[in-house]
Amino acid sequence: MENKLKILLTGATGGIGISICKRLAEINCELILLYRNENDEFTNLLNILNEKKIQTHKYKCDFLVDNDLNSVLNDIKTKHDKIDVLINNSASILVLPFLMTSIKKAKDIFQINYFSVLKITQEISKKMIKAKSGNIINICSTSGIENDEGRIAYSNSKAALISFGCSLSKELKNFNIRVNNIAPGLVNTKMLHDNTNVKILDEVKKKISLNRFAEPDEIAKIVLFLISDQSSYINGQTLRIDGGM
């Protein structure tokens, strides 16, 4: 990759987001990072990016606050003429039985996992259409395919995101813009362990052919592959990365 790629990544402070950034630091790129809350891992990441001389622009943004997202998108549109790659990675999870899932909580999950993605993608894809080139990658979940028990709002939002990506690939095909989804299974992140009972994790692990959860870097390597020319004929696909669930 000789030309510098300008890449926008949401959810930059999560386990998968941090790993994606570390992999992106291997290529010639400029990063625009959106995140909700800073943490020590993110601070360390910024130091790594600085050492590798990766130009980085960071935006703190709460997707549940419309003014936050509108302000960030306006700033990005003004300061960045071209964006080559959009990685929609932000996500929030809700683990509750259906009868305990309020409409408010379900709407919040959809706002973060789906509607914010639509809004960001609409704005960024306009730049890609103008450039007649682009690459959009949505980090989804196998939960959007198999609809996990106790995660109706989360699973439904990810199912909507998968459908969105497949449909969008058809709408943008004439502008040399590829759109693909990555659907990880269980990934060894803080979000997983904070929201899933240990007994359930042990039971699920036994059903995975590789008998382990994915590491965030294993998802990041697939992102890097989809950005590269090696994946130039892959479009409108949902790649399951689940260890053989």
The catalytic site residues sit at 154
Amino acid at position 184, single letter: P
Of 88, 30, 100, residue with least CA distance to 63: 88
Tokens of 74: 């306006």
Q: Crossing angle for the helix pair 40-51 and 15-24, nearest 10 degrees?
A: 0
